[in-house]
């Protein structure tokens, strides 16, 4: 029985893997403690919600996910998206707000599971790398700008990255100097420990920063004396399990943000998991990933948490600390439970400004303009997609940014394939090779026009393909045989088929015969189910050479 539930890695678990998993589990926990509190703050939730989201989801992912090294839990971008989704629905920190965050995780989890069962793993390919990179960079900038407020002890209200930025400048004089001093010191310490230290010391440094800042704040009673904002009471004890179904109104408010969070979570997890798996020659199954992340989110909703996914930074640390299997995650979950049972009192005097510093240090490494630089010379459209998505996130908002990114990814593909390359070809003398007449010295026949179509024919370019063919015919008015070389046409859709049928009718009325050569198997299979091949029966050639001999 147990054997059926257990995932493959657990069934074939080897003793030699244990030390790696134990050490990685411990190191990730050290990182997870401040991050879970910080990301909950970023999402507008009480700190314990971040810890709840770091226990059961890790165990659920270990059971259903496909990555051996992905560290699941609260992450920065999804926390930002949660805050955005709920901002107009309830006041931050209220029980109503917490309940909505749980529902958001539930809806997102159920969506992911359904997508997984439908084998919609292809969704993880919906975004191009430039768009993902632009989205992550934009979100990291939005988060960084947003965290400057708690870092400096400012508390004005503002919507959006731009208003926050101008607000910081105009309200700078209201900053709490003690808060700012602690925050900036923490920021510097975290940054220096990351750049100067190496190995296990670098990974433990954030814990020391947290301990020192908490001790100082507690000793000098900085909260009461000068108003440094602290975490305060974090309720001890494991979360109670319960699941509430959303009402129709809640569902209609939350389905779109949940869908976008699911999409972003999937894309983020799959890209991290893939790049780590590659280094160890392992494979990631996007469909299993959907199930794993879906189960993690349902588990989060069940245990008082909020939307989770696999994060960049912790997964990298988990990998380099030697994690061999998701047991590392299970160990983190156990350690986080122990924290929750007995150590929550220790966070009482932890200053919020240190959490802000933790967030800034975590997300600033995500800001990455290398795609812009590299893509610039290779493909200007991809650079533009990066910039537009990043600026979209900064100016319009994080949800609008991701929608813009999807639209841009798809639109750029339509745009690129909408003007296909179509070459008039002739035979290289004495050979069976055919080449573009404009690039090579080749033989042509006066009554035969041979065109090679270098693109799939589909709705995005069917009209342009026909126009180009007609223009080529106008330039060669003696043509009686038109040969379309289909070696680079991998697909024809219904719109493309209609175009070919119309073209055939038109050519017939003008006494021109339409022939095809080098039609690929899948295209030929599709054509046999249409009326077109009957009309072309006598005129489909295996090779261009054969067609050239017969038609010229």
**Given the rule CB under 8 A, which residues bind its own copies?**
122, 124-131, 274, 278, 283, 286, 371, 374-375, 377-379, 381-382, 409-410, 412-421, 432-433, 436, 439, 454-456, 458-464, 467, 487-488, 490-491, 493-495, 497-498, 502, 506, 520-522, 526, 529-530, 543
Looking at the Cβ atoms of 128 and 353, the one nearer to its own copies is 128
- Interatomic CA distance for residues 234 and 232, integer angstroms: 6
CB of 496 to its own copies, least distance (A): 9
Q: Do β-strands 309-310 and 72-73 pair in parallel, antiparallel, or remain unpaired?
A: antiparallel
Q: How far is the CB of 93 from its own copies (least distance, A)?
A: 30
At CA 273, angle to CA 327 and CA 339, rounded to 5? Answer: 40
Nearest to its own copies of 27, 526 (CB atom): 526
CA 85, CA 399: separation in Å to the nearest integer? 8
Structure tokens at 221: 């009673």
| Least Cβ distance, residue 378 to its own copies (angstroms) | 5
- Rg value, the chain, Cα: 30
Rounded CA-CA distance 42/210 in Å is 17
Instruction: Calculate ∠ Cα 132-138-141, nearest 5°.
Output: 140
> Count of CB atoms within 10 A of residue 543's CB?
14
In the bound state with its own copies, the residue whose beta carbon lies nearer, of 101 and 423, is: 423
**Minimum CB separation from its own copies for residue 125, in Å?**
5
| Residue carrying the six token digits 């379309």 | 484
Residue nearer to its own copies on the CB measure, 443 or 493: 493
Q: How many other CB atoms are there within 10 angstroms of residue 201's CB atom? A: 11
CB of 20 to its own copies, least distance (A): 22
**Could you say which DSSP state residue 540 is in?**
E
Map residue 485 onto helix, strand or coil.
strand
Residue with tokens 């999804």: 78
CB of 456 to its own copies, least distance (A): 8
**73 vs 116, beta carbon nearer its own copies:** 116
Helices (H), 396-461: 398-417
Helix intervals (H) in 47-94: 47-52, 56-64, 76-86
Whole-angstrom Cα distance, residue 481 to residue 468? 16
In the complex, minimum distance from the CB of residue 185 to its own copies, in angstroms, rounded to a whole number: 39
| Among 470, 104, 528, 129, CA closest to 309 | 104
CA angle 210, 214, 217 (to 5 degrees): 140
Query: Measured from the CB atom, is 443 or 466 closer to its own copies?
Result: 466
Phi and psi at residue 498, to the nearest 5°: -60, -45
Indicate the residue among 159 and 502 with the shorter CB distance to its own copies. Answer: 502
Least distance between its own copies and beta carbon 366 (Å):
17
Count Cβ atoms below 10 Å from residue 247 Cβ, excluding itself.
10
Decide whether 186 or 499 has the Cβ nearer to its own copies.
Answer: 499
CB of 530 to its own copies, least distance (A): 5
Residue 432: CB minimum distance to its own copies, A? 7
In the complex with its own copies, which residue's Cβ is closer, 48 or 289? Answer: 289
DSSP β-ladder status, 434-436 and 422-427 = antiparallel
Question: Cα separation of 148 and 180, whole Å?
Answer: 9
If the CB atoms of residues 93 and 522 are measured against its own copies, the closer one turns out to be: 522
Q: To the nearest whole angstrom, how small is the minimum distance from the Cβ of residue 514 to its own copies?
A: 16
**Interatomic CA distance for residues 207 and 315, integer angstroms:** 18
Q: Which is nearer to its own copies, 336 or 489 (CB)?
A: 489
DSSP label at residue 282: -
d(CA 199, CA 321) in angstroms, rounded, equals 9
CB 210 within 8 A of CB 347: no
When the beta carbons of 379 and 399 are compared against its own copies, the nearer one is: 379
In the complex, the smallest distance separating the C-beta of residue 257 from its own copies, rounded to whole angstroms, is 17
Nearer to its own copies, 98 or 462 (CB): 462
Both tokens assigned to 112: 């992911």
Burial (CB < 10 A; 0-12, 13-18, 19+), residue 317, is buried
Q: Strand 422-427 to strand 309-310: parallel, antiparallel, or no bridges (unpaired)?
A: unpaired
Residue with smaller CB distance to its own copies, 288 or 520: 520
Smallest separation (angstroms) from its own copies to the CB of 494: 4
Q: Shortest CA distance to 230 belongs to which of 150, 334, 124, 332? A: 150
- The two tokens of residue 47 are 């700190």
What minimum distance in Å lies between the beta carbon of 379 and its own copies? 5
């Amino acid at each position: 029985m147990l054997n059926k539930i257990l995932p493959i890695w657990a069934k074939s678990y080897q003793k030699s893997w244990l030390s790696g998993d134990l050490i990685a589990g411990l190191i990730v926990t050290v990182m997870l403690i401040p991050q879970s509190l910080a990301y909950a703050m970023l999402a507008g939730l009480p700190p314990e919600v971040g810890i709840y989201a770091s226990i059961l989801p890790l165990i659920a992912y270990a059971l259903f996910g496909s990555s051996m090294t992905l560290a699941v839990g609260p992450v920065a971008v999804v926390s930002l998206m949660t805050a955005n989704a709920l901002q107009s629905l309830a006041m931050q920190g209220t029980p109503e707000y917490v309940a909505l965050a749980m529902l958001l995780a539930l809806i997102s989890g159920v969506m992911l599971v359904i997508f997984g069962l439908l084998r919609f793993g292809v969704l993880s390919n919906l975004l191009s790398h430039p768009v993902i990179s632009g989205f992550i960079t934009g979100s990291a900038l939005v988060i960084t700008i947003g965290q400057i407020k708690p870092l400096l002890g400012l508390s004005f209200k503002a919507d959006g990255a731009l208003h926050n930025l101008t607000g910081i400048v105009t309200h700078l004089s209201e900053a709490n100097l003690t808060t700012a001093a602690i925050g900036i010191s923490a920021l510097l310490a975290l940054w220096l420990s990351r750049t100067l230290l190496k190995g296990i010391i670098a990974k433990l440094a954030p814990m020391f920063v947290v301990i020192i800042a908490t001790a100082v704040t507690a000793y000098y009673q900085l909260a009461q004396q000068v108003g440094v904002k602290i975490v305060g009471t974090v309720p001890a004890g494991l979360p109670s399990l319960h699941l509430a179904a959303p009402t129709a109104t809640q569902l209609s408010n939350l389905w779109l943000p949940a869908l976008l969070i699911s999409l972003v979570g999937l894309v983020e997890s799959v890209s991290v998991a893939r790049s780590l798996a590659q280094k160890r020659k392992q494979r990631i199954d996007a469909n299993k990933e959907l199930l794993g992340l879906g189960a993690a989110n349902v588990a989060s909703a069940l245990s008082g948490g909020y939307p989770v996914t696999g994060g960049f930074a912790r997964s990298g640390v988990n990998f380099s600390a030697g994690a061999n299997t998701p047991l590392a995650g299970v160990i983190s979950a156990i350690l986080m439970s122990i924290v929750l049972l007995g150590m929550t009192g220790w966070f009482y005097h932890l200053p919020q400004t240190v959490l802000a510093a933790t967030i800034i240090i975590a997300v600033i490494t995500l800001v990455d303009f290398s795609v812009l630089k590299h893509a610039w010379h290779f493909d200007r459209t991809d650079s533009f997609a990066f910039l537009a998505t990043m600026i979209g996130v900064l100016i319009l908002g994080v949800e609008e940014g991701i929608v813009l990114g999807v639209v841009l990814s798809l639109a750029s593909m339509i745009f690129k394939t909408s003007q296909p390359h179509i070459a008039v070809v002739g035979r290289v003398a004495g050979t069976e090779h055919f080449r573009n007449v404009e690039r090579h010295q080749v033989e042509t026949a006066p009554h035969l026009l041979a065109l090679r179509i270098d693109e799939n024919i589909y709705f995005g370019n069917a009209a342009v393909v026909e126009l180009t063919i007609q223009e080529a015919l106008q330039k060669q008015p003696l043509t009686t045989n038109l040969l379309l070389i289909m070696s680079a046409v991998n697909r024809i859709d219904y719109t493309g088929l209609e175009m070919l049928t119309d073209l055939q009718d038109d050519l017939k009325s003008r006494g021109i015969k339409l022939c095809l050569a080098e039609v690929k198997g899948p295209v030929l299979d599709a054509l046999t189910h249409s009326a077109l091949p009957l009309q072309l029966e006598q005129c489909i050639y295996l090779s261009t050479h054969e067609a050239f001999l017969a038609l010229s």
